[in-house]
Structure 1
Amino acid sequence: MLLRQDISKSLYSGLGAAHFALLFAIWSLLAYGHLVPASLLPTPGEVARTAIEMIQDGSLVEHALVSTFRVTSGFLISAVIAVPLGILMGTWKWALGFFEPMFGFVRYMPASAFIPLFILWLGLGEPEKIMVIFWGTFFQQVLMVMDVTKNVPLELIEVSYTLGAKGFSVFNRVIIPASLPGIVDTLRITFGWAWTYLVVAEIVGASSGLGYAIMHAARFGHTGKIFVCILTIGLLGMITDLIFKFIYNVLFAYQRRGT
């Protein structure tokens, strides 16, 4: 097979399903074969029973809704600021020179290190948890949007000038449309990152949420609940990813990819 050669959608889906099946088989072998203690690795059956119990008593849905609200709020606040700023930095060098050094510096600082400050500034309520999601997402997001905008071909801009476009019309009619597919893809990727900060955001001062449920279950050794909550986070993240892929394919049908 040639490098980067396209494959059929059925083969692509089949390979993905095979990967999940392989992981499930390994999990089942380790758990049912008692190769790993049950206190460390619950069986798939136990995880399924725990999930049903948590659905029936409403706790799983409650935790999932709270966490979805926190992640979505932090992500949206980040996107509203990061997308225009990233476009600005990718279009004008003065903005790039002013913002990039500091953003490049701050993005290496872990969001968890700022939790004590966020608690002092915002308290233990929802704003603190949303801020952790925002902080963990924003700096990567703005730099990725900047890169997308910077990569608009210079030839495209020069042609627009040749055809008579001037000033803001080049920005509005050339740079923005050319950048938009990459920006939507960046939002899809960074929404996934936002989910990875959930447990960190809910580790302090929370009484609900999937991250809180994971930490609470860990205190009492309920590995089944830990697995249920982790898998739920993965499922919610996958759903948001599919939503963004759907939006991408609807808005940019001319750029549809094999994936």
Structure 2
Amino acid sequence: MPKITTTDGTKIYYTDLGTGRPVILSHGWPLSSDAWQRELKLLADNGYRAIAHDRRGHGRSSQPWNGNDMDTYARDLAELVEALDLHDLALIGHSTGGGEVVRYAAQHGAGRVSKIVTAGAVPPIMLKSETNPEGTPIEALDGIREGVLKDRSQFYQDLSVPFYGFNREGAAVSKGAQDDFWRQGMLVGLKGAYDCIKAFSETDFTEDLKALDVPIFIAQGDDDQIVPIAAAALKSIDLVKHGTLKVYPGAPHGIFGAYQEELDADILNFLDK
């Protein structure tokens, strides 16, 4: 399994498929690079070098006690990009991964990053406050922490339902998708899973978004039950210089089914421009 070792000794696993212009895909919480299997093949089939990594604490990467925060995630990504010597790089990030690629691009990616795609991403900030009344209340986030600590196996099974919108009337429920969500979640170390909740919900990416000087495609479903679209995509588009927003009617947070098919086509179109 290909891995790099970061300066603090953390081993970061990655998948590297195809040849051509490089594209890095960053996964959401509590998943791993396996969440991007379909997109990795699609990109490689269409002439791109498709790379996806497991964030520290997740998947097949190391589970260090420290560094489960957005600044360190972005530095890990920077070290991966440098190790692979990637240029003219496109970034794709879902949910927490959207925050990771935005911070990386703003703080480490100058001269390397040429395009960005986010889907259901957490920027500019997920946590509800007086200045962000559309955000997620701290009580709901504390509930996630409690669920992870109390019975993470059952919690991940339960979370998969709203994640993919399987609790909506008429939804085409996939037991396989739920099982795979649970499988990936159970690979996350408990400390990393717990700390990442704070990282994805309380990190403010406002200045990162303002600093971006490359085209960014911002995608989100309007039935996202995990990351409120009013606090996310609808605010992010007003902070970036070269942004395109697409809202997917009825689409959930998780990239699956008809939403995945449409988003994947839009990603290819955006990258090919």
Q: Given the two structures, how large is their TM-score scaled by the length of structure 2?
A: 0.25
Higher relative contact order (CA 8 A, sep 6+): 1
Q: Given the two structures, how large is their TM-score scaled by the length of structure 1?
A: 0.26
Q: Which has the higher helix share?
A: 1
